[in-house]
Structure 1
Amino acid sequence: MTIHPFRRWSLSLALLALPVLAQAQSVNALSPAPATPAAGDMSAAQWYLKDPQLDNVPGVGANRAYNEILKNLIPTPVIVAVIDSGIDTAHVDLKPVLWVNRGEIPGNGIDDDKNGYIDDVHGWNFLGAPDGRNVNAETLEMTRIVAAGRKRFKGITAKTVKPADKAAYVLYQKAEKAYSGRLKEETERSKQVEEMSGPLTQMVTNMKQALGTEKLDTTALKNANPDDPNLKRAVAGMLDMMRQTGAGDADALLKELNEGVKQERSMLDNSLNLNFNPRADIIKDNPEDVSQRFYGNNDLHGPDPMHGTHVSGIIAAVRTNNLGIQGLAPDPVRIMMVRAVPDGDERDKDIANAIRYAVDNGAQIINMSFGKEFSPQRPAVEAAYKYAAQKGVLLVHAAGNENHNLDVADNYPASFYINNTTIPNLLTVGASGPKDNVNLTADFSNYSKKGVDVFAPGVGIYSTLPGSTYGNESGTSMASPVTAGVAAVLKSYFPKLTATDLKRIIMQSAQVHHTKVQTPGSDKQVDFSTLSVTGGVVDMYEAVKLAQKASL
Structure 2
Amino acid sequence: MKKSILLLLSILCIFSCKTTKNYTSITLSSKASLVTKKTQLKSKKNWHLKDIETDTLPGISLNRSYATILKNKRGKDIIIAVIDTEVDIHHKDLQNTIWVNESEIPNNGIDDDKNGYIDDVYGWNFLGNKKGENNRFINFEYTRILKQTSKDFKNLTPKDAVLKNEKKLQLHNRAKEAYDKRMQIDSAGKANYDKLYTLYFEAKNKIYPYLKERVFNQKSVDSLKKLKPEGINDFHFFIWSDCLKNNINDALVTKYRDNANERINKMLNLAYNDRSIQGDNENDISDTDYGNNNVSGNIDFLEHGTKMAGIIANITKNTTIKIMPIAISAYGDENDKDIALAIRYAVDNNAKVINMSFGKEFSTHKKWVDDAIKYAEKNNVLIVSSAGNFGNNLNIESHYYPNDRGEKDSNISDNFLLIGASTYTLNKKLKAKNSNYGNIDVDLFAPGTNIFTTNTQNRNTFSGGTSSAAAITSGVAALLYAYYPSLNASQIKSILMNSGIAYTIPVSTPEKDDKSKLTPFNQLSKSGKILNAYNAFIMAEKITK
The TM-score by the shorter chain falls in which range? 0.7 to 0.9
Would the alpha carbon gap of residues 55 and 190 (structure 1) be closer, same or farther in structure 2, given more than 3 Å must change? Answer: farther
* Cross-structure match for 2:132: 132
Corresponding residue for 1:141?
141
Cα shift at 1:378: 0.5
> Structure 1 residues 539, 252: closer, same or farther in 2, change over 3 A?
farther
Following superposition, the deviation at residue 278 of structure 1 comes to 3.5
Higher-Rg member (1/2): 2
User: What is the deviation of 1:265?
Assistant: 4.4
Matched, 1:427 2:417: yes
Match of 1:532 in 2: 525
What SS is found at the alignment partner of 1:159?
A: helix
Alignment check: 8 A CA contact 2:81 2:355 kept: yes
Structure-1 residue corresponding to 2:294:
299
Counterpart of 1:484?
474
Matches within 5 A, 1:241-280: 251=246, 264-280=260-276
Structure 2 distance, partners of 1:92, 1:43, is: 23
Deviation at 1:404, TM superposition (A): 0.9
Q: Which amino acid aligns with 2:338?
A: D
Q: CA deviation at 1:449?
A: 1.6
Q: What is the correspondence of 1:444-455 to structure 2 with a 5 Å cutoff?
A: 444-455=434-445
Within 2, Cα distance between the matches of 1:439 and 1:175? Answer: 32
The DSSP-based 3-state class of the residue aligned with 1:73 is: coil
CA distance in 1 between partners of 2:46 and 2:265 (Å): 37
Q: Any residues of structure 2 matched to 1:183-262 within 5 Å, and which?
A: 183-188=183-188, 251=246
SS at the partner of 1:396? strand
Cα pair distance change 1:479/1:265, threshold 3 Å = farther
What are the equivalent positions in structure 2 for 1:370-449 lying under 5 Å apart?
370-409=358-397, 410-418=399-407, 420-422=409-411, 423-449=413-439
User: 1:544 matched to which residue of 2?
Assistant: 537
Taking the aligned partners of 1:43 and 1:72, their CA distance within structure 2 comes to: 28
Could you tell me how far apart the structure 2 residues matched to 1:542 and 1:262 are?
Answer: 48
Q: Give the aligned length.
A: 466
For 1:250-288, what per-residue CA distance to the aligned partner results, in whole angstroms no more than 9, with x for missing partners?
637999x978776554433332222222422x1110001
**Is the CA contact 1:328–1:482 (under 8 Å) kept in the aligned structure 2?**
no
- Tell me whether 155-164 or 391-400 shows the greater mean CA deviation: 155-164
Cα distance between partner residues in 2 of 1:51 and 1:169: 51
In structure 2, relative to structure 1, the CA distance for the partners of 1:69 and 1:449 (3 Å cut) is same
Q: How far does the alpha carbon of each residue in 1:341-388 deviate from its partner, in whole angstroms, 9 at most, with x for none? A: 121001000000000010011011100011111101011100101111
Cα separation, 2, equivalents of 1:482 and 1:469? 20
Kindly tell me: are residues 441 and 331 of structure 1, through their superposed partners in 2, closer, same or farther at Cα, counting changes over 3 Å? same
Matched, 1:463 2:416: no
C-alpha separation in 2, matches of 1:68 and 1:110: 47
Amino acid at match of 1:460: N
- 1:234 corresponds to: none
| Equivalent pair of 1:62/1:328 in contact (CA under 8 Å) | no
Partner of 2:34 in structure 1?
Answer: none
Using the TM superposition, name which of 301-310 and 487-496 deviates more.
301-310
- What is the CA-CA distance between 1:192 and the residue it aligns to? 6.3
What is the CA–CA distance in structure 2 between the aligned matches of 1:50 and 1:262, rounded to whole Å? 41
Which residue number corresponds to residue 174 of structure 1?
A: 174
CA contact (8 A) 1:443 1:520 kept: no
Letter in 2 for 1:346: E
1:399-451 Cα offsets, whole Å, 9 max, x none, are 01111111121111124124532231001001111222222111111111211
Q: 1:505 maps to which residue?
A: 495
Assess, with a 3 A threshold, how the Cα gap between structure 1 residues 547 and 196 changes in structure 2: closer, same or farther. farther
Cα distance in 1, alignment partners of residues 336 and 480 from structure 2: 30
Q: Tell me, yes or no, if the aligned pair for 2:370 and 2:404 is still in contact at 8 Å.
A: no
* Shift in Å, 1:394: 0.3
Alpha-carbon contact 1:404-1:520 (below 8 Å) kept: no
1:13 alignment partner in structure 2? none
CA pair 494-192 structure 1, distance change in 2 beyond 3 A: same
1:366–1:484 contact (8 Å) kept in structure 2: yes
Q: Give the drift of 1:186.
A: 3.4
Q: Secondary structure at the match of 1:160?
A: helix
Structure-1 separation of matches of 2:503 and 2:198: 43
SS, match of residue 388 in structure 2: coil
Taking structure 1 as reference, are residues 474 and 269 closer, same or farther at Cα in structure 2, changes over 3 Å only? farther
CA distance in 2 between counterparts of 1:507 and 1:444 reads 22
Can you list the C-alpha shifts for 1:30-57, whole angstroms capped at 9, x where unaligned? xxxxxxxxxxxx9951111111111111
How do residues 8-87 of structure 1 correspond to structure 2 at under 5 angstroms?
Answer: 44-87=44-87
1:527: Cα distance to partner? 1.5
Structure 2 partner of 1:284: 279
Maintained 8 Å contact 1:429/1:454: yes
Contact 2:409–2:440, Cα closer than 8 Å, also in 1: no
Higher deviation after alignment, 258-267 or 415-424: 258-267
TM-score by length of 1: 0.78
TM-score for both structures, normalised by structure 2: 0.79
**Greater mean deviation of Cα atoms: 51-60 or 290-299:** 290-299
Partner of 2:31: none
Secondary structure, in 3 states, of the residue corresponding to 1:455? strand
Cα contact 1:407–1:451 (8 A) shared by 2:
yes
Which moves more between the two structures, 355-364 or 284-293?
284-293
User: What secondary structure, in the 3-state scheme, does the structure 1 residue paired with 2:426 have?
Assistant: coil
Determine if contact 1:516/1:526 at 8 Å carries over to the other structure: yes
Q: Which amino acid aligns with 2:540?
A: A
User: 1:72 aligns to what SS in structure 2?
Assistant: coil
The residue matched to 1:70 in structure 2 has which SS? coil
Q: Distance in 2 between matches of 1:359 and 1:518?
A: 39
Worse-matched range after superposition: 301-310 or 356-365: 301-310
Paired residue type of 1:287: E
Task: Pick closer, same or farther for the CA change 1:266–1:531 going to 2, 3 Å.
Answer: farther
1:540 & 1:253 partners in 2: Cα distance?
41
Q: CA deviation at 1:151?
A: 2.5
Q: What is the aligned-residue identity percentage?
A: 40
